[in-house]
Amino acid sequence: MFRKNRFNRVVERMREQKLPLRIRLLWDGTVLDLADAPQVTITIPAIASLRHFFSPTLDTLGHAYVEGEIDVEGRVTDVIEVAARLAAGGSRPQTGLYRVPRRVRHNRKMDAAAIAYHYDVSNEFYSHWLDPGMVYSCAYFRSEGDSLAVAQEQKIDHILRKLRVRPGDRLLDIGCGWGALVMRAAERFGARALGITLSHSQYELAQERIAAAGLTDRCEVRIEDYRDVTGRFDRIASVGMFEHVGCKNLRGYFGRVRELLADDGIALNHGITATNADGGGGDFIKRYVFPHSELPPIGLTLQEMVAAKLEPVDVENLRRHYALTLGQWAERFEAAGPRLRELAGEKRWRIWRVYLAGCAYGFAHNWISVHQVLAVKEGTASLPLTRDYIYND
């Protein structure tokens, strides 16, 4: 009775917020419309599940949905909007899907297991909502109407132009995914490209794609940890990988990039960054999506890069681009929902459904960001004085 009475007070607060929400209580058949024409329905199957609404956060609401303690109906973008407003009306401070992380020690075994958990769902799973090139990172939109495929190709070319990739350059892609960047670097820019990944699923498909494109003489993918790579490279790209490194390991990571970089080389780090000073990585993300991930703030990223004797020479914020990217991913994920449920199972489908749409909301509202940082070895002059070369083919 106490729990139900407390929930009634929560409902009154929701009414004051004018949330376009219907709540259905399965155990007694109660249906509560909190506004005219509700867009989202939350079904609560048991009294015990009411606890998730007493001091709600996006973490706790996401947990309740993934574990089947609540069900939701409605467009996923409306679901996230309602959840965010519901959380904002709660009594706990809100920081979105990301907040100050609990730091963990990273090692090769732990990092490989985390990558396998996230990426080795199945290649078909990702193919249904990524672009045809299977690029799993922030796209680059020259206009908001760009298709996902066009925007992803623009992103890859944007990176390769920033790096000033030339025919014959030895290029390393740390965390190469399914190989789109190394293939483009070899095919269009004439590079000799090596990509490394810890995902067996990514490696196998990348190998097939490279062979089918006739690029095996110029392009290679290996299963290899960045700490084990040997040799020197004229250009190094790392796209969507440093989030797995750990904040305490950034100096060592950037130091390794410096060791692998030729004296007149250029490196680019593209990664998600926290917008608060202490870093981010919420409980939902860490538990269900990216185990052991940490998001450094851009200030810490630059500080550790400098400490590793790399000189940042250009910094670009792509936050709005990632909001658009995730929005398209979420739409494609919804459209392929039945097949994705079959491939991944109910729980993992729920995880990815709220993760993609929730992150789109988070980037749009500046809870998290993403930066490209171009760097050279300390004190060298490997780039022209202006950015003009990026925009001129």
Q: Per residue in 23-69, pLDDT tens?
A: 999 988 999 999 888 999 999 999 999 989 888 888 899 999 999 99
Query: What is the predicted pLDDT for the residue at 97?
Result: 46
**Which residues are known catalytic residues?**
359
Q: Is the pTM of the predicted complex or chain greater than 0.95? A: no
| Angle, helices 319-335/76-88, rounded to nearest 10 degrees | 130
Contact between 376 and 382 (Cβ < 8 Å): yes
Residue 194 clears pLDDT 50, i.e. is over it: yes
* pLDDT tens-digit readout, 304-356: 999 999 999 999 999 999 999 999 999 999 999 999 999 999 999 999 999 99
Tell me whether residue 343 is exposed, middle or buried, using C-beta atoms within 10 angstroms of its C-beta: 0 to 12, 13 to 18, 19 or more: middle
E strands present in 120-183: 170-174
Q: What is the pLDDT of residue 17?
A: 84
Q: Are 234 and 192 in contact (CB under 8 A)?
A: no
Q: What is the predicted pLDDT for the residue at 384?
A: 82
pLDDT band at residue 280 using 50, 70 and 90 as cut-offs: very low
Three-state DSSP state, 315: strand
Mean pLDDT, residues 105-111 taken together:
61
pLDDT, residue 92, reads 41
Q: Report how far residue 200's alpha carbon sits from residue 221's, in angstroms, rounded to the nearest whole number.
A: 11
Spatial CB neighbours of 116, under 8 Å, sequence gap ≥ 6:
198, 199, 200
What pLDDT, on the 0 to 100 scale, is given for residue 3? 64
What is the rounded distance in angstroms from the CA atom of residue 68 to the CA atom of residue 346?
Answer: 9
3-state secondary structure of 94: coil
Closest by CA to 292, choosing from 103, 93, 88, is 103
Domain 108-380 classified CATH 3.40.50.150?
yes
Mean pLDDT, rounded, for 140-144: 96
pLDDT at residue 40 in the model:
96
**Phi and psi (nearest 5°) for 40?**
-130, 140
User: What pLDDT score was predicted for residue 118?
Assistant: 55
Residues 6+ apart with CB under 8 A from 240: 136, 137, 138, 175, 177, 270, 271, 272
Q: How high is the mean pLDDT of the chain?
A: 89
Contacts 24+ apart (CB under 8 A), 141-149: 141/321, 141/324, 141/325, 144/324, 148/325, 148/328, 148/329, 148/332
Q: Quick one: tokens of 298?
A: 């851009």
- Give the per-residue pLDDT at 99: 45
Mean predicted confidence (pLDDT) in 367-376: 96
Place of tokens 């990223």: 301
Measured distance CA(185)–CA(108) in Å, rounded? 28
Three-state SS for 273? strand
pLDDT of the residue at 101: 45
Do the domains 2-88 and 108-380 sit in the same CATH topology, yes or no? no
* Per-residue pLDDT at 166: 96
pLDDT, position 36: 87
Q: At what angle do helices 346-364 and 58-66 cross, to 10 degrees?
A: 160
Residue 29's identity, in one-letter code, is: G
CA distance 393 to 265: 20
- CATH code for the part of the protein at 2-88: 3.30.1050.10
pLDDT at 279 over 70: no
- Quote the distance between the C-alpha of residue 18 and its chain's center: 32
Q: Which amino acid is it at 267?
A: A
| Whether pLDDT at 392 is above 80 | no
Q: In terms of DSSP bridges, do strands 40-44 and 219-223 run parallel, antiparallel, or are they unpaired?
A: unpaired
Please state the domain extents for the chain: 2-88, 108-380
